[in-house]
Amino acid sequence: MRSRLSFIVMGILGLLVGACLVTLLRPQDQARAPVWPVVEVAKRVEPSVVVVLNQRKVRERVETKGMGSGVILNRAGDIVTNYHVVQGADAVTVVLASGTRYRARVVGIDPPTDLAVIRIHAHNLVPIHFARSADIQPGQLVVAIGNSLGLTHTVTVGVVSAKDRVMYRDGWEYHLIQTDAAINPGNSGGPLVNDRGELIGINSSKIAQAGVEGIGFAIPSDTVQYVVQQILRYGHVRRPWLGVTLQPVPNHQLGLLVVSVASGGPAAQAGIRPGDLITSVNGRPVNGLQDVVHVLEQSRIGQRIQVGLLRGNSFLSLSIQLQEAPMNSPAA
């Protein structure tokens, strides 16, 4: 009896030792392998990303003429996208990650930043979380999600190539995030997020020409938040306005020539005339349009700025009280 019991105990111990050896020598389970953070980021962000359809009336029918992406801002149904995604639309339709469709209303647009806010009446929406774009660093991991080429919720991965690319267009100064994450038609208006799934930018454009790859741009989240707050409060973005058209003078490094002055505008009221040469703003030399735009960006509506100018052979200093810019007008 005792020998049989010993045999049973030894058998059980042998099975346990064998099981331990198998466990130690077996390759790690796929299920226990570390998950790449992009997988979790995509799962977290996907419910906050929508498809935006730009629809136009063609004869008696409404047809989809363009597709883009959008990001859910809050549970009230506000969504941010690019202005060029909804530009010229007779109707806008939003498709949630679940596939449910909603007719959207355009709350407000801001062509200078290429942003727009649209609204749907829906329930159980999942807003995205914002991060400060001022805190991002070149080289950090980023994920872009959007309706790339009509393929919904496409995920691409890259890094922040540069955090403050400055570009100028139509008199406006743009500060953009550069990334090598693939951005294609349809990604416009979609999110660029960090490794925690927080929004750091809205994808807006890429350089599309032969021999150029991996250069895309996103509107920083700090800009997005400011523009969205202005649109939701006023229906548009309120900006200070100088009321002049300026251009460089050939072979003249200092100063900008006043080409025209808006009737009744701030510059006209201060006495600025066409033909004047603006040489300084708030004591800072003016070497290019960006010097004027930079001061305006740091100013408020109603604030006075000091403008130094050359009129003929005379140097003048005029005080100008900034007004709110008319819709879609350049700052200067």
pLDDT the model gives residue 298:
83
User: Contact, 268 vs 243, CB < 8 A?
Assistant: yes
48, 69, 110, 114: the active-site residue: 114
Please, what is the Cα angle at 191 between 213 and 136, to 5 degrees?
Answer: 80
Q: How far apart are CA 24 and CA 191, in angstroms?
A: 43
pLDDT the model gives residue 325:
85
pLDDT the model gives residue 28:
54
DSSP helix, strand, coil percent of the chain (3-state; round to 5): 25, 45, 35
Number of Cβ atoms within 10 Å of the Cβ of 144: 25
- pLDDT tens over the chain, length 332 residues: 555 555 555 555 555 555 555 555 555 555 555 567 899 999 999 999 999 999 999 888 889 999 999 999 999 999 999 999 999 999 999 999 999 999 999 999 998 899 999 999 998 899 999 999 999 999 999 999 999 888 888 999 999 999 988 876 665 677 899 999 988 888 999 999 999 999 999 998 765 555 556 688 999 999 999 999 999 999 999 989 899 999 988 877 788 999 999 999 999 999 999 999 999 999 999 988 888 888 888 888 999 999 999 999 999 999 999 999 886 565 55
Q: How far apart are CA 67 and CA 276, in angstroms?
A: 46
Please, what is the Cα angle at 156 between 155 and 159, to 5 degrees?
Answer: 140
Q: Which domains does the chain have, with CATH numbers?
A: 42-119 (2.40.10.10), 129-234 (2.40.10.10), 240-324 (2.30.42.10)
Q: How far apart are CA 120 and CA 105, in angstroms?
A: 7
Q: Is 252 a known active-site residue?
A: no
pLDDT the model gives residue 250:
83
Please give the model's pTM, rounded to 2 decimal places. Answer: 0.78
pLDDT the model gives residue 85:
95
Residue identified by tokens 């960090």 is 194
pLDDT the model gives residue 59:
86
69, 133, 148, 188: the active-site residue: 188
Q: How far apart are CA 315 and CA 278, in angstroms?
A: 10
Q: Is 114 a known active-site residue?
A: yes
Number of Cβ atoms within 10 Å of the Cβ of 127: 16
pLDDT the model gives residue 257:
94
84, 110, 204, 221: the active-site residue: 84
Largest interatomic CA distance in the chain: 123
Q: Is 84 a known active-site residue?
A: yes
Residue 57 β-bridge partners? 62
Residue environment code for 55-89, b if the CB has 16+ CB neighbours within 10 A, otherwise e? beeeeeeeeeebbbbbbbbeeebbbbbbbbbbeeb
Q: How far apart are CA 76 and CA 194, in angstroms?
A: 25
Residue type at 212 in one-letter notation: V
User: Contact, 294 vs 286, CB < 8 A?
Assistant: no
Pairing of strands 240-241, 277-281: unpaired
pLDDT the model gives residue 110:
93
Provide the CA 202 distance to its chain's centre, in angstroms: 3
Tokens read off for 70: 């959008």
Helices (H), 199-243: 221-234
3-state helix/strand/coil string of 59-113: CCEEEEEEEEEEEECCCCCEEEEEHHHHCCCCEEEEECCCCCEEEEEEEEEEHHH
